């Protein structure tokens, strides 16, 4: 029974949407005044649900809901995309899944954003309804000694 479950899970990992129906259209990284803005652009409207951890981590779990499948048949799939890097962001990749058990909502979309090292961040829904913004903030590590004034 465990072998059948493992095979079913492996087959589920291999099922993907056609290239023309990718969920993430693009990943943009821009910098402004010491803050990197990672913009995840989706091919369909999405709604932000929640994320974890709250503000600092190496692995960010982002939970969304797909608002429109535009008549597409619902297919469970998992994929990943490498993202561009800047001087303000360590390299990272985005893995995403529509597997039903990733979130208890209709048409779930669950993302794992894996950085090479922990980052401080903020997450918010984009104004266009088809993007999520992840702001990577400068690290203010309180363990580092502050310079002495003379």
C-alpha to C-alpha distance for 99 and 42, rounded to whole angstroms: 17
In the chain, at which residue ranges do the beta strands (DSSP E only) sit?
24-32, 35-42, 46-52, 56-66, 78-82, 92-97, 108-125, 131-137
- Please count the structural domains in the chain: 1
Which residue segment(s) compose the domain that 56 sits in?
Answer: 24-137
Q: Mean pLDDT score of the chain, rounded to an integer?
A: 80
For residue 19, what pLDDT is reported? 42
Query: Could you identify the residue written with the tokens 């821009």?
Result: 30
Q: How far is CA 2 from the centre of its chain?
A: 30
Q: Let me know: does 25 contact 43? Beta carbons within 8 Å.
A: yes
Q: Tens of pLDDT along 48-88? A: 999 999 999 999 999 999 997 655 555 677 787 878 778 88
Q: Is residue 98 part of a domain?
A: yes
**Residue 111 located in a structural domain:** yes
Taking the model in full, what pTM does it have? Answer: 0.75
User: Is 60 exceeded by the pLDDT of residue 133?
Assistant: yes
Q: d(Cα 127, Cα 123) in Å, to the nearest integer?
A: 13
Residue 66 lies in a domain: yes
The full DSSP string for 107-145 is SEEEEEEEEEEEEEEEEEE-TTSSEEEEEEEPP--TTSP
CA distance 145 to 88: 21
Domain-located, residue 9:
no
CATH number of the structural domain spanning residue 34 = 2.60.40
User: Which position has the higher pLDDT, 28 or 100?
Assistant: 28
**Does residue 3 belong to any structural domain of this protein?**
no
Q: Is 42 a domain residue?
A: yes
Instruction: For 92-123, write each residue's pLDDT tens digit.
Output: 999 999 888 888 888 899 999 999 999 999 99
**Angle (nearest 5°) at CA 94 between 74 and 103:** 45
The verdict on residue 19 lying in a domain is no
pLDDT at 13 exceeding the cut of 90: no
Residue with the larger pLDDT of the pair 11 and 40: 40
Residue 49 located in a structural domain: yes
Neighbours of 136 (CB within 10 A): 22
């Amino acid at each position: 029974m465990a072998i059948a479950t493992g095979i079913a899970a492996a087959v589920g990992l291999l099922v993907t949407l056609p290239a023309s129906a990718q969920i993430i259209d693009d990943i943009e990284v821009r910098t402004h005044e010491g803050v990197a803005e990672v913009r995840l652009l989706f091919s369909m409207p999405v709604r932000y649900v929640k994320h974890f951890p709250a503000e600092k981590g190496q692995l960010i779990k982002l939970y969304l809901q797909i608002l429109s499948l535009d008549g597409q048949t619902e297919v469970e799939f998992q994929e990943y995309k490498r993202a561009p890097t800047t001087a303000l962001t360590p390299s990272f990749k985005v893995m995403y899944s529509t597997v039903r058990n990733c979130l208890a909502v209709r048409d779930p979309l669950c993302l794992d954003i894996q950085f090479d090292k922990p980052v401080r961040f903020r997450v918010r829904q984009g104004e266009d309804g088809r993007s999520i913004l992840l702001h990577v903030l400068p690290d203010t590590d309180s363990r580092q000694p502050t310079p002495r004034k003379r």
